Structures are given as structure tokens and as C-alpha cells.
Amino acid sequence: MLEVVRVPVLSDNYVWLIHDSVSAETVAVDPAVAEPVLQAAAARGWTIGQIWNTHWHGDHVGGNAGIKAAAKAWGGCTITGPAAEAARIGSLDRTVREGASVGIGDHVARVMEVPAHTAGHIAYHLPDDGMIFVGDTLFAMGCGRLFEGTPAQMFANMQRFAALPDDTTVYCAHEYTQSNGRFALTVEPDNMALRERMEAVDTARARDEATVPTTIGLERDTNIFMRARNVAELAQRRAAKDAG
């Protein structure tokens, strides 16, 4: 069994630590910064031996160098990230493309290329563990902004995510849920699953609690970008959210 720990950093980023107790390996996914992530690992007696980056944005790779430097004390840290963004990230030891396998202990993550938020964005899907690390492509009730891609690409990404098993746990990189949900309610005001979810989200946020991870099943029911019926509908919704 893999253990996953959420490390909140900066204003609304989540860095994820994945730990395999059998091999004693630990992976940091998208470390925005180094120190709080190293501390979260050390507090559990873990040492970070790998970093998995989903895309080049500074709030996903900013901790690479600091973690790599600290890891000299325990045998090093291998940094994996998208081949298409290797030049922009600079610190990658291993570059990966669609279909590549990345491991933690005996657990395998399959790389999915999901361009749109950035041109080379990837996700790490662990099918046997029912987990996916999606960076800034899929959020709870939302999707990433289209900085370097098209609505057609994001629509294709959403269809791929929607095809995963409902009980797949989705680890996204920001706490954007409440804002996403409020917008979603303007699009689907009669969606009962969405209304119920937003009540729970509002309660959690009032208590300053995290609302991620989420699941593919929950997103299929409440994510208006995953629920968009075609590219034009996704494009219209994304543009309206950006303007809001």
C-alpha cells in the first residue's frame, strides 16, 4: 500500500508525498518549495529519493534544486518530468513521454501526456493503486487554464480522465475547489450532486480544511469541464470562468 501525504505550501498549492513502506521509497510530486516538503518527509522518518514534475511552472518545480541538494545526505534524488518541457525545467534527470513507466518500489505510474495548461503537461497514473497525479490539468470541479493549449486538447484530456475507474483518487495541485464549485453552480444550478458537494465544500472551507484529493467518480458527477459535451461547450465554460 502506498501512503500519500498532502503538504500545503504557498497560498494554495498542494505538494504530494508518496511513500512505499515496503521499499521505504518516497516521491515528492510537484514540490513548489523545498523546505516544508523536506520537513514533512523528515517528520515521518522518510527521505525523498524522487521528484515527479507535471509541468514547468515555478510553483511546481521551485523546490527541485533544494530537495536535490538536501538528498545528497541520503543517496540522492532523481527528478523526472516531461520531455517536452525539459529545457524549461532545467533540473530533470529523466525525461518521459506518453506511456513511459515511472516506479516507486513495485508500484508503477504510467505517464499520460495531457497538454493544454502547458504544452508538455503530463500526469502520473498508477492504475494498480487507483491513483492519478494530475498537476494543474484537472481540479476538483475545475480544469486548468489554457495557457499553452487549446480547448480541443483540454476536452480530450477530460475524456481520458473520465474513462478511468470511478474510484480512482485524483491528486490535484491547488485548493481551487470552492471557487470552481461556485462557478459550476451557475452553469448547472439544478445538478443535485453538485449542490450537495458544494455544501460539504463550504463547510470544509469554513473550517479551513482541504477539499482534495477527489475521485474520478465525483468529478464525472460535478465537474462541468469533464461534463462538457463537446469542445465548444468546454471552450465557452473555460472562457466564462476566466472572465469571472
Return residues touching Zn ion (CB under 5 A): 57, 136
What are 84-89's contacts with CB under 8 Å, separation 24+? 84/113, 84/115, 84/119, 84/120, 85/55, 85/56, 85/118, 85/119, 85/120, 85/121, 88/56, 89/53, 89/56, 89/61, 89/64
Question: Is 19 labeled as catalytic in the residue annotation?
Answer: no
Provide, rounded to whole angstroms, the least separation between the CB of residue 57 and Zn ion: 4
Question: Is 121 labeled as catalytic in the residue annotation?
Answer: no
Say how far apart CA 60 and CA 20 lie, in whole Å.
22
Nearer to Zn ion, 85 or 129 (CB): 85
Catalytic residue among 55, 107, 121, 125: 55
Question: What are the Cα distances from residue 120, in Å, to 69, 86, 188?
Answer: 26, 9, 31
User: Which strands form 94-96's sheet, in the order they lie side by side?
Assistant: 2-9, 13-20, 25-29, 50-52, 78-82, 94-96
Nearer to Zn ion, 138 or 194 (CB): 138
Catalytic residue among 19, 107, 117, 121: 117
Question: Is 174 labeled as catalytic in the residue annotation?
Answer: yes
Nearer to Zn ion, 57 or 107 (CB): 57
Catalytic residue among 20, 59, 129, 221: 59
Provide, rounded to whole angstroms, the least separation between the CB of residue 21 and Zn ion: 31
Provide, rounded to whole angstroms, the least separation between the CB of residue 132 and Zn ion: 17
Provide, rounded to whole angstroms, the least separation between the CB of residue 203 and Zn ion: 28
Nearer to Zn ion, 19 or 57 (CB): 57
Catalytic residue among 19, 57, 121, 125: 57
Question: Is 221 labeled as catalytic in the residue annotation?
Answer: no
Category of 125 on φ-ψ map: left (φ > 0), alpha (ψ -120 to 50) or beta: beta
Catalytic residues: 55, 57, 59-60, 117, 136, 174
